[in-house]
Amino acid sequence: MTDTKRPVKIATIGGGSSYTPELVEGFIKRYDSLPVRELWLVDIPEGEEKLKIVGGLAQRMVEAAGLPMEVHLTLDRREALAGADFVTTQFRVGQLDARIKDERISLKHGLIGQETNGAGGMFKALRTIPVIFDIIRDMQELCPDAWLVNFTNPVGIVTEAVLRYTDWDKIIGLCNCPISMRFGIAKWMDVDPSRVRMELSGLNHHFFVTDVFIDGKSCFDEVLERYCELPVEELGTMKNIMAIPWSNRLIRGLRAIPVSYLNYYFSTREELDQLTRDYEAHGVRAEVVKQVEAELFELYKNQDLHVKPKQLEERGGAHYSDAACSVIDSIYNDRGDIQYVDVRNNGAVSNLPEESAIECAAVITADGPKPLAIGELPVPINGTIQMIKTFERMVAEAAVTGNKDLVVAALVANKLCDSDAVANAVVDELMEAHKDYLPQFFNADGTPKDEREAKALTSKVCALA
C-alpha cells in the first residue's frame, strides 16, 4: 500500500444500486494504484432503504480489506459532489417500476420494450437526460475538474445528449459488453485476455467487432472462422437477451461480429415472440430483475457478509467494476492503455458526426480517452449504425426540447417500430405513464406543456449555464 499518491474522492450517484458492491470491489482491488480515500454513495429519499443496506455491505467490505477508505452514505448530492475527482452515475429514474411500464406497454402494442432499445430505451433516455443535466450543473459549480463516468442506460443516448447540448466534455460512457466480448474472444482463441485487443465500430449496444489483434497482430480471419465453428452456448450473450445463433452467412457477409444486443435488430421476430411468451408466462424482464434484486438485498443485509456475493452476476453485473474502475485508474495514473468507451467521435469514424458519441477502443490518458481511428464504416454495417445514430440524435433533441412530435418521429425511424399508428399509441401511453418524470413535456400540475414552444427550441443548442 502506498501513501505517496494524491488521495481520491469519488461520488457515486445511485449508490443504492445492487451493482454497487461490484464497484466497491474494484476500488478495493486497485487501492495501491488508486487510493480512494472517500467514496460517497448518493441516492434519493425513495432509495434510502436500499442505500443503507448496500452501503452497509460496502463499509463491511472496506473494513474487511483493512483500507483507510471512508464510505459515506447521503441523500445530499451536492455534499457528495463537493471536491470530487470522479463522479459515477448508475441510477434509474422511476426505479424498476418505470422499466416495467416501458416493457409492458411496448409489448401490449407488439413492440420490443427493452430498456436500451426502441420505445423502452427512448423513454428511459427522456427520463434520464434532464437528471444528468442537473448533475452536470452541480458539477460545474462543485467539482469542475471531475470526470463524469456514466453507466446509466441508455449510455449512448445520454452521452450523445451531453456532448451535443452541453458544454461539459469530461464525460465517458461505459458498458460491460465490450469487456465481455474481449473475454469471450480470448476464450475462443485460447489466449489470455490481456493479449487481445479489439477494434469496435459503432455505438453503445449497437457495435460490431471489426478487427481483433492478438499480441498486436491482426488475426480477424481466424477469429471469424472460429466464431462460425462454435456452438451458440459457447459464444456468450447478455443474460437479458435470448441467445439466437446468427447464420454463418450473415457473419461472413458482415465480416464483423455483432454485440449480442443486435439480436433485437437481426432476430426481431424471434426476440419479440420470446418476450411475449415470457410476458404471458411470468411477466416482463424487469419483473424478473426486480425479484433478483430483492433476493440480492436480502443477502446484503447479512451482517456477516463482507464480500461481493456471487449471485450479483445473475443481475448482469459481470465485469462492471473492470470497466468503471479501470478507466478511472487509467486517467488517474495516465496509463495510456486501451479500453472500450463511449466518447466524442472527433473524426475516429469518418462517416459519423465529429461531435457525436461513438463506442470504440480508446487510449486512456490523464487528459481522458483518445479514440483510435477507425475510418469509414464498412458498407455492410454502416446502414444499421446510421439508423441508430439518427434515432439517438432525435431522442436526445426531444429530451432537451420537449418536442413530442419528434419523439414519435424518432420511434418510427427505429427499425423496431414498423407503424406510425403504433408509434403514436405507444408514445401517448408511455407519456401518460411517466409524466411525473418528464418535466420537459409536462407542467408541475401534470398538464402538457405547449408544444409550439418546444418546436421553436428544436434547432437551438441548449448549453448549460
154: preceding bond cis by omega (within 30 degrees): yes
Active-site annotation holder among 261, 265, 300, 320:
261
The residue ranges of DSSP E strands in 262-332, in sequence order, are none
Q: Which residue has the cell 437479458?
A: 240
Residues 33-53 as b/e (b if ≥16 CB within 10 A, e otherwise) read ebbbebbbbbbbeebeebbeb
d(CA 426, CA 238): 26
Assess whether 332 carries a catalytic annotation: no
- Quick check: 148 and 89 in contact, CB under 8 A? yes
If we measure between CA atoms, which residue out of 275, 254, 161 comes closest to residue 202?
254
Phi, then psi, of 147 in degrees rounded to 5: -95, 135
Residues 276-310 as b/e (b if ≥16 CB within 10 A, e otherwise) read eebbeeeebbbbebbebbeebbebbeeeebeebee
Report DSSP state, residue 340. Answer: E
3-state helix, strand, coil in the chain (%, to 5): 50, 15, 35
Burial class (CB in 10 A: 0-12, 13-18, 19+), 431: middle
Positions marked active-site: 261
